[in-house]
Amino acid sequence: MRTLADVAAGRPWTESPPWRVTASRPESRDTVTLELEPPEPFSFQPGQFNMLRVPGIGEVPISISGDPSAAGAVLHTIRDVGAVTHALCESRPGHQIGVRGPYGTSWPVQAAEGGDVVIVAGGIGLPPLRPAIYHVLAHRESFGRLVLLYGARTPSDLLFTSELGTWRSRFDLTVEVTVDTAGRDWHGNVGVVPDLIGRAAFDPGKSVAFTVGPEIMMRFAVRALLAAGVPEDRVFLSMERDMQCAAALCGHCQLGPFLVCRDGPVFCYRPLARWLGVREL
C-alpha cells in the first residue's frame, strides 16, 4: 500500500481500493464499532492504527480494536467528536471508507511473556488495548496474571460491556471497573481508575503495564504503577496526538523530540517521562 512517505521519497502515489463497511455496532451513546472489509489480506500488531478517510470531509487516525489473529473484518471503535468521526459513526453497511495503514509502534506483548500483564484503560482508551488483551488470552500459557483495570465517566460510557462480563467470568483474568460518577443502580466501584492499581494483585517486579486514556489519567496511572514497584522501562503508554499525515511529514503530532505517528503511538515511559510531565505540550 502506498503512503505519503512514498510520495516524499519520489515514488508514485497509488490509491488503494476503499474498504467496505460490513457492520456498525453502537458501544455507547457516542461511540461506534465499525467492521471494515479490506480488499486484500490485512494484518496488524496490537496497538497500531489506521488512517480512515471520508471523501469530501477528511481523514483521522483510529486505533484498530479487533483481534489481531482473526481473519476477515477489521474493527475500529470510534468516538463521535468531530466532523470526520461523526461521518464515520454514521456509516452503514455497504458504505465505503478510505483506509491507510497500519501505522505506528505496537504493544510489546512478546517482551511481556513470562510475567504479569497489567492493562490500565480510561474511557476510549480501552479499544487500543483490546488487541493486546486478545493476544494474551490467545497465548495464555506464556503469561502470568492478566489484570484489566478500566474506568469511564459514567456507567453509560463503558465500552464492550458484554465482553467485560465474559472476561470477568474467566478464572485467568482479573477485571476491575470503575466510574467517576453513578446513580443508585450502579453497584460497582466509584472513583478514578488509577486508584484501582494499588488494590490489584500482581507481581510488580515481574509485570509489564500498558495504559491508554486522557493524558492526565495516564500521568496518575504511571505514578501509581511506579509507586507499586513496576520498573519505568516496563511501563508503556499510547499517546493520542494530532496525527494528520501518519508519515512524519506534517509535524502536527510532535511531542518534545518525538513525532507520535513515527515514534509511537506506543512509547516506553522512561524516554517519555520528561515530556509527559510538561502539560503545555
Q: Which domain holds residue 14?
A: 4-102
Residues 188 and 235 in one domain: yes
Give the C-alpha separation, 97 to 91, whole Å: 9
Task: Indicate the pLDDT class of residue 279, thresholds 50, 70 and 90.
Answer: low
Q: Which of 70, 102, 134 is the last residue of a domain?
A: 102
Q: What is the pLDDT of residue 262?
A: 92
Domain of 14, CATH number, reads 2.40.30.10
Q: How many angstroms separate the CA atoms of 208 and 147, rounded?
A: 11
Contact 151, 126 (CB under 8 A): no
CATH of residue 141's domain is 3.40.50.80
pLDDT > 70? residue 153: yes
* Same domain? 133 vs 255: yes
The grid cell for 169 is 467470568
In a domain, 110, yes or no: no
- Rounded Cα distance, 119 and 149, in Å: 6
Three cell numbers at 237? 503508554
Residue ending a domain, among 37, 68, 102, is: 102
Choice among 33-37, 161-165, 274-278 with the minimum mean pLDDT:
274-278
Q: Express each pLDDT in 61-77 by its tens digit.
A: 999 999 999 999 999 99
Residues 87 and 121 in one domain: no
Q: Are residues 228 and 145 in the same domain?
A: yes
- Residues 33, 155 within the same domain: no
Residue 129 lies in a domain: yes
Q: pLDDT tier at 281 (50, 70, 90 boundaries)? A: low
**Would you place residue 88 in the very low, low, confident or very high pLDDT band (cuts 50, 70, 90)?**
very high
Q: What is the model's pLDDT at position 11?
A: 43
Sign of CA dihedral 109, 115, 116, 120: negative
Question: Is the pLDDT confidence value at 36 over 80?
Answer: yes
132 and 258, same domain (yes or no): yes
Are residue 65 and residue 165 in the same domain, yes or no? no
Would residue 109 count as lying in a domain? Answer: no
* Counted domains in the chain: 2
Q: Does one domain contain both 149 and 252?
A: yes
Clarify whether residues 192 and 67 are in a common domain: no
Who wins on pLDDT, 230 or 15?
230
Q: Residue 8: is its pLDDT beyond 60? A: no
Contacts of 187 (CB under 8 A, 6+ apart): none
**What confidence tens digit (pLDDT) does each residue in 113-133 have?**
999 999 999 999 999 999 999
Structure confidence at residue 15 (pLDDT): 54
**pLDDT, tens only, 180-217:** 999 999 999 999 999 999 999 999 999 999 999 999 99
Would residue 162 count as lying in a domain? yes
Same domain, 95 and 229: no
